[in-house]
Structure 1
Amino acid sequence: MRESPSRRGWRSSAWAGVLAVLLAGAAAQARGPLDALGTVPLSALPAEARATHRLILAGGPFPYDKDGSVFGNRERLLPRAQRGFYREYTVPTPRSRDRGARRIVCGGERPTAPEACFYTADHYASFQLIAQ
């Protein structure tokens, strides 16, 4: 049985749609993790995050013992780097009984002059690049 021209047209447009989705996914992977992250201006972060960022640039003193410790990037949401490149800092959460979920993770050779810093409000489930 022969296919009608309208049915052939539908089938080819459906395959074109599938191909477009696959190519878009491949292009997103090729761009890398930084392109997949959103960007947030430093001024749009909570006051506690801005204060933590100032402490990072000043080299402390930090209120939590774990501040400045190596961040392993096990989630692989940040660009790949060798161990020790990223460091994490607590962003205090008002009314939280513990450190809370908010952090700033900065990467670079010198902790007081980071190459890039990232904000997470959900304990490393997502990150936003901090634009200064």
Structure 2
Amino acid sequence: MFFTGRSHRDSGWRPGASFLLAVVLGAAVLGPGASARQGTAAEVGVALKALPVEAQTTHRLIREGGPFKYQKDGIVFGNRERLLPRQPRGYYREYTVPTPKSRDRGARRIVCGGLRSVSPDACYYTDDHYASVRLIAP
């Protein structure tokens, strides 16, 4: 916005109007009970085909019920980072996405939520160990 010598009162701009519009639109996108931070994953999606081949394989194994290479695959994901929509404990499960040349499990994961692990409601991908997550679009 350029300064024209007029105050914001002269321009018709109201400071509360923009904020209110953002809140209303955010609520429509996120749904009831979600905060702006929790909506981050749902707003930024990634196509399954755009993920690394290891992530595509892990996603297929999740839908087939395994077998999984790592003992911790399928454990409950606590969502402590609060990047995913709030759900009861046990709703989310995490799975390792192997990282080539890594000596351990690496930082890549898929987290799926739902009552049935082989047909999850939604899955999310992270390549930075939960610093960020993206909704996997089919």
TM-score by length of 2: 0.80
Unaligned runs of 5+ in 1: 1-5
Larger-gyration structure (1/2): 1
Cα distance, 1:98 vs structure 2: 1.2
Structure 1 residues 34 and 47: alpha-carbon distance in aligned structure 2, compared to 1, 3 A threshold: same
Q: What is the alpha-carbon distance in structure 1 between the residues aligned to residue 81 and residue 124 of structure 2?
A: 14
Q: Counterpart in 1 of 2:62?
A: 56
RMSD: 2.3
AA of the residue aligned to 2:85: P
Q: What is the alpha-carbon distance in structure 2 between the residues aligned to residue 14 and residue 29 of structure 1?
A: 26
Cα distance, 1:28 vs structure 2: 5.5
**% same residue:** 58
Structure 1 residues 36 and 104: alpha-carbon distance in aligned structure 2, compared to 1, 3 A threshold: closer
Q: Is the 8 A contact 1:37 1:127 kept in 2?
A: no
Aligned residues: 126
1:16 aligns with one of 13, 30, 54 = 13
Unaligned runs of 5+ in 2: 31-38
Q: Counterpart in 2 of 1:96?
A: 102
Q: How does 1:38-53 map to 2 (within 5 A)?
A: 38-53=44-59
Q: What is the alpha-carbon distance in structure 2 between the residues aligned to residue 95 and residue 19 of structure 1?
A: 52
- Name the structure with the higher helix share: 1
Q: What is the alpha-carbon distance in structure 1 between the residues aligned to residue 103 and residue 77 of structure 2?
A: 22
1:105 correspondence with 2:102: no
